[in-house]
């Protein structure tokens, strides 16, 4: 008996890029970024506990352009992961499973992430006043 060739699994080239795919990938990436950022938070706490010179070094690192970029990325990751997590909780409760609602909630999460992250940095750079 002749052996038939088995079909190959479809690859990403077959699929159209969609917001649902992007949101899923970003949720995983931001989760990893937050896990790495937890080490930065631990460093901050250790610098506070160690005293003035150590905290001054930490603050100098965060004040650099690279430090601000990393802190901005951490802020955006935290905000995105929070809002997308709320979206997932609503799905767990049984809401928003029809396709238009999935797309609407995805775009809402992206818009809220941009707005809230911008607001956090606007007030942070103004000095909170």
Is residue 109 exposed (0-12), middle (13-18) or buried (19+ Cβ within 10 Å)?
Answer: buried
Mean pLDDT of the chain: 91
Q: What is the pLDDT of residue 13?
A: 63
Return d(Cα 57, Cα 47) in angstroms, integer: 8
Tens of pLDDT, residue by residue over 14-64, are 777 889 999 999 999 999 999 999 999 999 999 999 988 999 999 999 999
Annotated binding-site ranges: 81
19 close to 107: Cβ distance less than 8 angstroms = yes
Binding residues for heme: 81
> pLDDT confidence of 77, banded at 50, 70, 90?
very high
What is the pLDDT, as a whole number, of residue 128? 57
Give residues with Cβ within 8 angstroms of 110, minimum separation 6. 19, 23
How far, in Å, CA of 82 to CA of 96, rounded? 17
- Domains, the chain, with CATH or none: 19-126 (1.20.1300.10)
pLDDT score of 112:
98
């Amino acid at each position: 008996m002749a052996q038939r060739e088995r079909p190959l699994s479809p690859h990403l080239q077959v699929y159209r890029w969609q917001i649902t795919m992007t949101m899923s990938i970003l949720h995983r990436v931001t989760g990893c970024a937050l896990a790495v950022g937890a080490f930065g938070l631990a460093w901050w706490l250790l610098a506070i506990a160690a005293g003035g010179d150590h905290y001054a070094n930490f603050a100098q690192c965060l004040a650099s352009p690279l430090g601000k970029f990393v802190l901005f990325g951490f802020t955006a990751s935290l905000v995105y992961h929070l809002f997308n997590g709320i979206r997932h909780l609503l799905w767990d409760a049984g809401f928003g499973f029809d396709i238009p609602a999935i797309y609407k909630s995805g775009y809402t999460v992206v818009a809220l992430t941009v707005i809230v992250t911008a607001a956090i940095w606007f007030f942070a750079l103004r000095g909170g006043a």
